[in-house]
């Protein structure tokens, strides 16, 4: 893990997006058009409100970790 946890929930959502794209085509090789279509499809059908809420709900714990490390 990094020294400071990522406090920006969207960064975690980008990670989910990249992971789901890799699941579709593990070795890449996308054309630009294929990638655009896949990103839209994943965004519209696979990333849920629950995905966002999971990371938003974890913010208090992440902030506490930052505070603890700052005090150490």
Tens-digit pLDDT profile for residues 53-71: 888 898 898 888 888 877 7
Residue 3: pLDDT band (50, 70, 90) is low
pLDDT in tens, 11-65: 888 999 999 999 999 998 999 999 999 999 999 999 999 988 888 898 898 888 8
Give the dihedral sign, CA 68/6/57/26. Answer: negative
Is there a contact between 17 and 43 (Cβ–Cβ < 8 Å)? yes
pTM: 0.70
Q: Which residues contact 59 (CB under 8 A, 6 or more apart)?
A: 7, 9
DSSP state of 1: -
């Amino acid at each position: 893990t990094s020294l400071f946890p990522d406090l920006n929930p969207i960064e975690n959502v980008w990670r989910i997006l990249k992971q789901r794209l890799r699941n579709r085509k593990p070795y890449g090789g996308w054309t630009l058009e294929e990638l655009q279509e896949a990103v839209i499809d994943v965004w519209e059908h696979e990333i849920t409100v629950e995905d966002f809420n999971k990371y938003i709900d974890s913010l208090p714990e992440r902030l506490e970790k930052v505070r603890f490390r700052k005090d150490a």
